[in-house]
Structure 1
Amino acid sequence: MRLTTRTNLAMRTLMFCAANPDQIVRKREVALACNASENHLAQVIHLLAQQGYLRTVRGRAGGLMLGRSPDRISVGEVFRQFEAGLPFAECFAGEECNCPLVGSCRLKSALTSALDAFYGKLDTITVADLMRDNTDLNSLLKVA
Structure 2
Amino acid sequence: MRLNLHTDYALRILMYLASKGGQASVDEIAGAYGISRNHLMKVARSLVELQLIEARRGRGGGFALAASADAINVGYVVRRLESLEGFVECFDRTSNSCPVAGACGLQGALNGAVAAFLDKLDEYRLSDLLPDRNRFLRQLKAFDQAPNNPKTSPMAA
What's the TM-score once normalised by structure 1's chain length? 0.91
Contact 1:33 1:140 in 2 (8 A): no
1:34-113 to 2 correspondence within 5 Å? 34-84=33-83, 87-113=86-112
Contact 2:19 2:133 in 1 (8 A): no
Provide structure 1 residue ranges, at least 5 long, that are not aligned to the other structure. Answer: none
The structure having more radius of gyration, on CA atoms, is 2
Number of aligned residues: 141
Structure 1 position 33, deviation (Å): 1.1
Partner of 1:18: 18
Moved segments of 4+, more than 6 Å? none
Structure 1 position 24, deviation (Å): 2.0
> C-alpha separation between the residues in 2 aligned to 1:137 and 1:94?
43
Partner of 1:125: 124
Across the aligned residues of Structure 1 and Structure 2, the Cα RMSD in angstroms comes to 1.5
> C-alpha separation between the residues in 2 aligned to 1:134 and 1:57?
23
> C-alpha separation between the residues in 1 aligned to 2:10 and 2:102?
36
Partner of 1:7: 7
SS in 1 for 2:124: coil
Contact 2:76 2:122 in 1 (8 A): yes
Contact 1:131 1:138 in 2 (8 A): no
> Which structure has the highest helix share of the two?
1
Post-superposition Cα deviations, 1:86-111, rounded to whole Å, max 9, x if no partner, equal 61111112211111111212101000
Identity between Structure 1 and Structure 2 (%):
38
User: Which deviates more from structure 2 when the two are superposed, residues 128-137 or residues 110-119?
Assistant: 128-137
What's the TM-score once normalised by structure 2's chain length? 0.84
Provide structure 2 residue ranges, at least 5 long, that are not aligned to the other structure. Answer: 142-157
